[in-house]
Amino acid sequence: MKQIVFLISAIAMVLAGPDPNCMPFNAPKDATFADCCQLKVEQIPADIITKCEASVPKPSGPPPPPPSDGKGPRPPPIAALCMAECALKETKIFVDGNIDKNAAITFLSAKDPSVKSTVETAVNYCADKIKNMPGPPNNSTGPAPPCSFIPMFATGCIYGQIYKTCGDKLNAQPDTCKSLLDFANKCDWVPPMKCKMSDV
């Protein structure tokens, strides 16, 4: 359990930095990259999402409670980590515990080669962030988490970096797209897909 809590905390620290408003549960929930940015960047195919939704473990109880001091959001359920890991394995982006940068760049720019430079910059930026993530402490005890935190972080980070460059390709409607851009600029990531964290 300590390892699981540590990994969730590590994700939160790298995604959110020092600002609690950048935590995953404070991200805009009514819009995603695909809704708002008209850059032709490949998305995870619906059939893979459906397959992964069916394969991830379902929570057996209620969502984890918020912190005892009442501040901040609940941590993301472990099933969300497994969903992201499954999706990136299916697309051959997450291989042998690491992000394959070339595979990620090829996949994301498949629809439109003109976005390749933007995608490459985003992938390299996020790969460097992953390298600098803290590892679990040496005295960690208990079972290791069933899935890696890297795919979940990588998807939010990469799409966030690309979203910040959307420019005149940003869908002005609804207003939530502007809110999502503000979040990306402030927090360095965006939710890559619509997904209620308590449902996965």
180 part of a folded domain: yes
pLDDT digits (tens, 9 = 90+) for 1-16: 333 333 443 444 445 4
AA identity, residue 149:
F
- Local confidence band at 36 (pLDDT 50, 70, 90 cut-offs): confident
The separation between CA 144 and the C-alpha centre of its own chain, rounded to angstroms, equals 20
- Read off the pLDDT of each residue in 90-104 and give the average, rounded to a whole number: 95
Better-predicted residue by pLDDT, 160 or 22: 160
pLDDT at position 47: 92
Q: What is the pLDDT of residue 77?
A: 63
**Region label for 185, one of left (φ > 0), alpha (ψ between -120 and 50) or beta (otherwise):** alpha
Domain assignment present for residue 68? The answer is: no
Give the rounded percent of residues in the chain with a pLDDT score beyond 70: 68
Residue 12 confidence (pLDDT): 47
Q: What domain range is 127 assigned to?
A: 2-57+75-199
Query: To 5 degrees, how large is the angle CA 127–CA 28–CA 165?
Result: 50
pLDDT on residue 178: 86
Give residue-wise pLDDT tens across range 48-76: 988 988 887 666 656 555 555 444 444 45
Residues 43 and 111: beta-carbon distance below 8 Å: no
pTM of the shown model: 0.76
Place of tokens 């992201």: 84
Predicted pLDDT of residue 10? 42
Place of tokens 């397959």: 51
User: What's the structural domain count of the chain?
Assistant: 1
- Tell me which of 127 and 194 has the higher pLDDT: 127
Name the DSSP letter for residue 198: G
pLDDT tens digits for range 135-187: 555 555 556 667 888 998 899 899 999 999 988 888 766 678 888 888 889 88
Note whether residue 67 is domain-resident. no
Of the listed ranges 120-134, 141-155, 185-199, the least confidently predicted one is 185-199
CATH number at residue 122: 1.10.238.270
User: Does some domain include residue 20?
Assistant: yes
Average pLDDT (103-112) is: 95
Say if 149 falls within a structural domain: yes
> Average pLDDT, stretch 22-44?
82
Q: How far apart, in whole angstroms, are the C-alpha atoms of residue 73 and residue 7?
A: 16
Q: 22 and 160 in contact (C-beta within 8 Å)?
A: no
Report if residue 70 sits inside a domain. no
Which stretch of 46-55, 115-124, 185-194 has the lowest confidence by average pLDDT?
185-194
For residue 66, tell me if it sits in a domain: no
Tell me if 154 is assigned to some domain. Answer: yes
